[in-house]
Chains A and B, each alone.
Chain A
Amino acid sequence: MEAVKQKNPSPKGTVMIQSESKWKKFAKNFPVHKYYYLLMIPGLLTLLLFRYAPMGGIIIAFKDFKIAEGIFGSPWAGLHWFKMLFSNSQFTRVLYNTIYISLSKLVFGFPMPIILAIMINEVKNVPLKRSIQSIVYLPHFISWVVIGGILFSMLSPTVGILSIFGFSKNPLLEPSNFRTLIVLSDIWKEAGWGTVVYLAAITGISEELYEAATIDGANRFQKIWYITLPSIASTIAVLLILRTGTLLTAGFDQLYVLQSPATMDVGDVLDTFVYRYGLAQGRFSFATAAGLFQSVVGLILVSISNMFARRMGQDGIL
C-alpha cells in the first residue's frame, strides 16, 4: 500500500496519509486529551439543548406558520416571505440605513471603549481610577426608552439645554444630524460598559515590560502604542470579528425609541422594519425569514473577517 501511494502521489492519497497520521496522533494524545473532551461536555450539552434543538424552527421561514397547526403542521410557503422582504419598496432604503448606521457605529463606536479603557488604565490614583470606571458603566443599566426621554428633553429647543444655545429645532428631527446622534448616543450609553473586557485584558500585561520601556526612555504614548495596544490586540481582533457578524442589526431598541416620522428616511432599519411588518402583525414566518437573511449575511461576514484576522497573524475565533 505504502509503495503504491508513493508511486502515485494523487491528492486523494495525500489526504489519506494525513488523516491517518491525524488519527494516530489522536490515539496517542487521547489519554491526556480525553479530559479536555470531558470538560467540554456540560457546556456543549447546554448549547445542544437550548441553541441547536430549537434550530429546526428555522423552517418557519419557508412555511406559512399557523399557531394552531404548529411548526411542522403549517403549510409550506416556499420563498414567499423572502420575496415579500426583498421586493418591498422600502427594502433598499431600510437595508442602506441599516448598513450605514451599523458601519458608523463600528467605525466610530467600536474604538471608544478601547480608548476609554487605556485612558482609565493610565490613571495612577487607584481609588480615582476605580471610581471613574464605576461611573462610566452606569448608563448601560438604563434602558433606551429612558435614555431616549432624557435625550429628547435635553435636545429640545424649548425646555432643554440646547435652548440656552439658541437652537430653534431639535437636532433629532433633522435627517442630516440623525445618524450622527445615533452613533454618539450609543457611545454615551455603551462605551463605559465596553471597557470591562479591555481592562481585563490589560491586567494580563506584565509590569516588567513597562518598566523596561521606562528605562529605555519611552514616553507614555510610546508605551501605549508599543506595549498596551499590541498586548490587547488579540482581544480587539476577536471582538471585532464578533462584531462584524451583527452588521445587519443596527440596534432595535435605540432606533425604535429615537426614530420619528421626520427621520424615517434615514432612521428606519431592518429590525424596526421587520418588527412592523412581522411581529406586530403576528407574522412569525416573515420575521424568521428576515432573521435568517441577517444570520446568513452575518456568518459570511464573520468567516471573511476571521480569515483576514488569521492572515494578519491573529488567532481569530475559528
Chain B
Amino acid sequence: MKKRKNFSDYVFDIVNTSLLIFISIVMLYPFWHELCLSLSSAAESTRGGIFIIPRQFTLEAYKLVIRSSFIWTSFYNSIYCAFLTTVIGVLFTSMLAYPLSKKELMGNRSISFVVVFCMIFNGGMIPTYLVVNNLGLVNSLWALILMAIVTPYNTIIMKNFFTSLPTEIEEAAFIDGAGPLRIFFTIVLPLSKAVLATIGLWLAVASWNNFMMPLIYLNDRELYTLPLYIRQVIDGQLLARTTGEGAQSAVESVIGATIIITIIPIICVYPYLQKYFVKGVMLGSVKG
C-alpha cells in the first residue's frame, strides 16, 4: 500500500530525526570519551578535558589490560555464565510466566504474590551466602547462574506480555486438540520473540556486568569472571599510585580500555537480539 505523505508528515520526520540524532550524540559521548581516553597516551589522558578524537594515539592501555593470560580465562568464564544464564533463564522465566498469564488458573494470584513478594523482600547478602554455601555451590560458576536465572521482575514483565497476546490462536489450537504444553512451545513462544529477546538481553547483560556475586561466591582465580579481573587491573593501577610503585600508565586510559573491552562483546551480540524488538518492517507484520 502506498502511503500518503503530506507536509506535516515531513516536518514531523525532520524534527523527530534531528532531535534523535542530537540525543544520540549526547548519549554517545560517555562511550566516546572512554574510547578516546583508552587510545590516548598516558600524559594526554591525565590532562583530560573534552575529547573529540584520541590524542597521541597509542594502544598501551590495551596491552596492559590484556597482558595477563587471566583475561582469557575470565572472558571464557563470563561467556559461559552469560550464555547459560540467558538460555536457562529465558526458558524457566517464560515457563513460570506463561501459566501466570492464565486468569482461569487456580492459585494464579497467590503465586503471583509469591513472585512479587520476593522481589521486594530479600534475606540479604549473608543469609543468601549461607544458603548457597549449604547447597554446596560456593566456588562454582553454577552459583552465579542459578541465582540469576529467574528474577521476579523479569517474570512479571513476561507475564504481562503473555497476557496481551491475542487469545484466538491459542483457542483455535486448543479446539484442534493441542495441549497446553504444545501450545506454549509451538505457538506462544514463537509469537513472543520480542519479549524473549528483551528478557534474554537483560539476563545476559546482568550476568555480564555482575561484580558483587562473583566476588562473594568465587574463591579460585581460575573461576574469576571478567568484571573481577577488570577490577583487579584497576585496583592494581590505583595501588601502584599510592605506593609509588611503577605507575607508567595512566589510570584513566586503563579504565577506558577496560570499559571498551567489556562493551565490545555486547555490541557484537546486540544486533542479533535487537532485530526482534526494534521493528524493521513497517508493513505486513504477521500475526500468527
Contact = CB atoms under 8 A, between A and B. Distances in A.
A187 to B, nearest CB: 10
B190 interface: no
B106 A219 contact: no
Given A44-B111, A200-B198, A188 B152 contact: no
B161 interface: yes
Contacts of B26: 188
Interface residues of A, number: 97
Dominant SS among interface residues on chain A: helix
Contacts, number: 276
A55 B122 contact: yes
A197 B198 contact: yes
A234 B285 contact: no
Given A60-B126, A238-B157, A39 B99 contact: yes
Interface in B254-288: 255, 259, 262-263, 266-267, 270-271, 274-285, 287
A121 interface: yes
B201 interface: yes
B28 to A, nearest CB: 5
B24 interface: yes
B68 interface: no
Interface stretch (B13-21, B53-61, B71-79, B242-250): B13-21
A79 interface: no
A318 interface: yes
A127 B28 CA distance: 17
B194 A142 contact: no
Given A43-B92, A196-B201, A245-B120, A53 B131 contact: yes
B167 interface: no
B115 interface: yes
Most buried by B among A32, A134, A204: A204
Contacts of A317: 112, 116, 156, 159-160
Interface stretch (A10-18, A90-98, A154-162, A171-179): A154-162
A36 B24 contact: no
Nearest to A288: B124
Contacts of B278: 120, 129-130, 133, 199, 203
Interface string B134-152: 0100000000001101101
B27 A138 contact: yes
Interface in B1-54: 1, 3-4, 8-9, 12-13, 16-17, 19-21, 23-24, 26-31, 33-34, 48-50
B126 A71 contact: yes
Nearest to B196: A200
B156 A39 contact: no
Contacts of A42: 92, 95-96, 150
Contacts of A206: 285, 287
A32 B99 CA distance: 11
Contacts of A122: 12-13, 16
Contacts of A189: 30
8 contacts: A37-B99, A42-B95, A44-B96, A51-B123, A130-B275, A189-B30, A219-B9, A302-B116
Interface of A: 22, 25-26, 29, 32-33, 35-40, 42-44, 46-47, 49-58, 60, 71, 116, 119-124, 126, 128-142, 146-147, 150, 153-154, 159-161, 188-189, 191-192, 196-197, 199-204, 206-207, 211, 214, 219-221, 234-235, 238-239, 242, 245, 284, 287-288, 291-292, 295, 298-299, 302, 315, 317-318
